[in-house]
Amino acid sequence: MRAKKFLSWRALLGAALAISGLTLLIWPTIPAQATGSGPEAAAASRGSVSICLVTANAPTRERGIQVAQWAAQVLLEQTPSYRGPCASYGTPSALGNGTVRTYAQISGNKPQTVGIVFPKSMLTNLPTTMTDGNHCYDMNGNGTVDQHTECVGGHERPLDLPAQLTALPGMPLKWALVNFNPMGHGPEHIYDMAHFDFHFYTQSKAERDAIRSGPCGLAINCDDFVTATKPIPPQYLPQDYVNNNVAEAAMGNHLIDLNSPEWSSIAFTQTFIYGAYDAKISFLEPMITKAWFEGIEAGVNPSRCWPIKQPQQWQIGGWYPQEYCIDYRANRGDYTVSMKNFKNSAA
């Protein structure tokens, strides 16, 4: 069995070499060195590209290589390979008929991509109830809990980030959280459709878990509501984002960009939210409808990226993404929601 797998790898690598017609440098996992040197930089100078080589009969075995662009295209069409350095992964969590898990692609000491990946099967057999009931409060004191008006958070899946990512110097991201909202949530006629929230937290999970349920805001403890809605100093507030006091139990406040299309009578498909707690940014959140994902696979919607609006200055220095992307990888049958183009920003 091992010999068969070995031969398949040799055959595939040989095909890539034959296709390109060039001498290709095949590299192991990129070492933790400063950016601007090593395989990535060498590849750029030769006009080759980084590919994480994966074969169908050994889908969990990944190897980083450099190939010519057109050889890369053949590998991406014929195998489950993908662009960039090979990823590190977090622990998967079951959702629908699939799983969700975090991943990171790292070059030297620089994050290239941080995201969440899931197979297309995850979009089937999803929960249908409003929430999982983990964050509820009898806000009107009538002795019962209305899942539609007194529970928040949808169906949540806390996720650890890859250890290789959180160990990077200057990495502010600590963990991730996926929430599926089968019926959406408020405001009415804006976000009240089935969608996913993909949270990437700069706040520790222990601090997030300490945000209590209660009768204020979105089922949040009133003292915690006050803490959550403290104004962020203007220089740390992302461009065009405002505080509408949308504070929620087990989450904190939500800062919104009123220039996003959904606030101009255009149906919500995807948007980007910042979270805040105690006058600090606490999470970065792409929010995406289930229908948008399905439209990408159907060829109606594109796989693409959008810019992330930045503050004048970050409260904590480190690596921050400049864009977020939604992709369907047909050769792998999966979706990725990712943040890319990281910039090392000073505090």
Alpha-carbon span 27 to 101, nearest angstrom: 26
Q: What is the pLDDT of residue 188?
A: 87
- Report yes or no: 198 and 178 within 8 Å, Cβ to Cβ: yes
Q: Tell me, what's the pLDDT at 46?
A: 58
What are the residue ranges spanned by the domains of the chain? 2-83, 88-345
Please list the alpha-helical segments (H only) found in the chain.
2-20, 39-46, 69-78, 163-166, 205-209, 222-228, 290-297
Residues in the chain: 347
Supply the pLDDT for residue 12: 57
Q: What sign results for the dihedral spanned by CA atoms 4, 5, 8, 13?
A: negative
What is the full per-residue pLDDT of the chain (347 aa) written as tens digits? 444 444 455 555 555 544 444 333 343 333 333 334 444 555 454 578 999 999 999 999 999 999 999 999 999 999 999 999 999 999 999 999 999 999 999 999 999 999 999 999 999 999 999 999 999 999 999 999 999 899 999 999 999 999 999 999 999 999 999 999 999 998 988 999 999 999 999 999 999 999 999 999 999 999 999 999 999 999 999 999 999 999 999 999 999 999 999 999 899 999 999 999 999 999 999 999 999 999 999 999 999 999 999 999 999 999 999 999 999 999 999 999 999 999 999 88
Q: Whole-prediction pTM value?
A: 0.88
